[in-house]
């Protein structure tokens, strides 16, 4: 007898949940990596204009501040972009002029 039909709903649901969790975490990881790469690039440019034999403490302090500033800037940009998208979609739904 074929018992594979039993508990198929349970297996399906947990498999689906597994895939969803995996997709979410892979996307989050990719996003974090991109952010880190950008911070590395931008803050190196701003804080280490003349690379010496080591990272000076002043350069390290600048890098710390720069990380905070970039993440803040990213949030400002994100909020502006999302609210603009919402405005544009509302304009379209409200009917054209």
Partner 1 sequence: MSQQAQLTESDQRELAQFIQVEKARAEIQETVHTLADTCWDKCIFKVNNKMDRSEETCLANCVERFLDTSLFIVNRLESMRGSGV
Give 56 or 65: the residue with its C-beta nearer to partner 1.
Answer: 65
Of the residues 40, 78, 86, 89, which one makes contact with partner 1 according to CB under 8 A: 78
Both tokens assigned to 18: 């597994």
- H-run or E-run covering 84: helix 57-93
The residues in 48-77 that bind partner 1, with binding defined as CB under 8 A, are 62, 65-66, 69-70, 72-74, 76-77
Scanning 22-30, 49-57, 89-97 for contacts with partner 1 by CB under 8 A, the matching segment is 22-30
Q: Output the CA–CA distances (angstroms, integers) from residue 11 to 28, 30, 31, 32, 50, in the order listed.
A: 26, 28, 30, 31, 58
Give 13 or 56: the residue with its C-beta nearer to partner 1.
Answer: 13
């Amino acid at each position: 007898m074929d018992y594979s039909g039993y508990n198929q709903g349970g297996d399906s649901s947990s498999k689906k949940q597994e895939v969803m969790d995996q997709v979410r975490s892979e996307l989050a990881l990719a996003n974090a990596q991109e952010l880190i790469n950008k911070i590395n690039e931008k803050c190196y440019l701003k804080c280490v204009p003349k690379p010496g034999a080591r990272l000076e403490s002043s350069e390290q302090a600048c890098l710390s501040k720069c990380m905070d500033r970039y993440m803040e800037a990213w949030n400002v940009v994100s909020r502006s972009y999302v609210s603009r998208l919402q405005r544009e979609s509302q304009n379209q739904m409200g009917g054209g002029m």
